[in-house]
Amino acid sequence: MKIKNIMAREVLDSRGNPTVEAEITLEDGSTARGISPSGASTGEKEAVELRDGDQSRYQGKGVEKAVAGINQEVKRTVIGSAFADQVAFDQVLIDLDGTPNKARLGANAILAASIAFARVNAVSKKIPLYRQLIERDTYVMPVPCMNVINGGRHADNNLDFQEFMIAPHNAPSFKESIRMGEEVFHSLRGLLKSKGYYTGVGDEGGFAPNLKSNEEAMEVILEAIQKAGYKPGADISICLDPATSEMWQDGKYLFYKSDQRQLSTEELITLWDKWIKQYPIVLLEDGLGENDWKGWKQMTAALGNKVELVGDDIFCTNPAIIAEGIREGIGNSVLIKLNQIGTITETLEAVKLAQANNYNCFISHRSGETEDTTIADLVVATNAGHIKTGSGCRSERISKFNQLLRIEEELGAKASFAGIKTFKI
Ligand SMILES: O=C(O)[C@@H](CO)OP(=O)(O)O
Ligand SMILES: [Mg+2]
Give yes or no: residues 33 and 117 share one domain.
yes
Query: Is the entire prediction scored with pTM above 0.90?
Result: yes
18 within domain boundaries: yes
* Cα 285 to averaged position of ligand 2 atoms, centre (Å): 6
| 243 CB near ligand 1 (under 6 Å) | yes
- Classify residue 131: in a domain, yes or no: no
Q: 204 and 104 in one domain?
A: no
Q: How far is the CA of 42 from the centre of ligand 2 (A)?
A: 8
Is 132 among the domain residues?
Answer: no
Active site residues: 204, 337
Residue bearing the CA closest to ligand 1, atom 8: 39
121 and 178 housed in the same domain: no
Q: Mark which of 126, 152, 173 sits at the end of a domain.
A: 126
- Does residue 42 line the site of ligand 1, with CB under 6 A? yes
- Burial of residue 58 (number of CB atoms within 10 Å: 0-12, 13-18, 19+): middle
Among 126, 149, 176, the domain-final residue is: 126
Residue 21 lies in a domain: yes
Q: Which residues of the chain carry a pLDDT beneath 70?
A: none
Residue 10 lies in a domain: yes
Task: Give residue 154's pLDDT.
Answer: 84
Do residue 293 and residue 341 come from a single domain? yes
Same-domain status, 115 and 173: no
pLDDT in tens, 162-209: 999 999 999 999 999 999 999 999 999 999 999 999 999 999 999 999
Residue 126 marked in a binding site:
no
Ligand 1 touching residue 94 (CB < 6 A): no
Pocket test of ligand 1: the residue of 46, 312, 363 to mutate, having most ligand atoms within 8 Å of its CB, is 312
Is 367 flagged in the annotation as binding?
Answer: yes
The answer to whether residues 107 and 163 belong to one domain is no
Q: Are residues 166 and 89 in the same domain?
A: no
CATH of the domain at 353: 3.20.20.120
Domain end call among 85, 103, 126: 126
Judged by its nearest atom, the ligand closest to the C-alpha of residue 40 is: 1
For residue 28, report the distance from its CA to the centre of ligand 2, in Å. Answer: 40
Domain-embedded: residue 105: yes
CA 304 to centroid of ligand 2, rounded, Å: 18
User: Does residue 133 fall inside a structural domain?
Assistant: no
Ligand closest to CA 155: 1
Domain identity same for 181 and 37: no
Ligand 1 pocket test: pick from 153, 339, 364 the residue with the most ligand atoms within 8 Å of its Cβ: 364
Q: Which atom of ligand 1 is nearest to the CA of 154?
A: 10
- The verdict on 96 and 170 lying in the same domain is no
pLDDT at 156: 79
Which residue has a Cα nearest atom 4 of ligand 1? 366
Q: Are residues 236 and 324 in the same domain?
A: yes
49 annotated ligand-binding residue: no
What pLDDT digit, counting tens, does each position of 92-105 carry?
Answer: 999 999 999 999 99
Same domain, 184 and 326: yes
Tell me the CA–centroid distance for residue 384 and ligand 1, in Å: 18
Q: Which domain holds residue 407?
A: 139-422
What does the pLDDT read at residue 41? 86
If one counts the domains in the chain, the total is 2
The CATH number given to whatever domain includes residue 21 is: 3.30.390.10
Is residue 134 in a domain?
no
Distance CA 311, CA 351 (A): 13
Which pLDDT does position 155 carry in this prediction? 81
The answer to whether 337 is a known ligand-binding residue is yes
SS (H, E, C) the chain: CEEEEEEEEEEECCCCCEEEEEEEEECCCCEEEEECCECCCCCCCCCCCCCCCCCCCHHHCCCHHHHHHHHHHHHHHHCCCECCCHHHHHHHHHHHHCCCCCCCCCHHHHHHHHHHHHHHHHHHHCCCHHHHHCCCCCEEECEEEEEEEECHHHCCCCCCCCEEEEEECCCCCHHHHHHHHHHHHHHHHHHHHHCCCCCCECCCCCECCCCCCHHHHHHHHHHHHHHCCCCECCCEEEEEECCHHHHEECCEEEECCCCCEEECHHHHHHHHHHHHHHCCEEEEECCCCCCCHHHHHHHHHHHCCCCEEEECCCCCCCHHHHHHHHHHCCCCEEEECHHHHCCHHHHHHHHHHHHHCCCEEEEECCCECCCCCHHHHHHHHCCCCEEECCCCCCHHHHHHHHHHHHHHHHHHHHEEECCHHHCCC
225 shares its domain with 194: yes
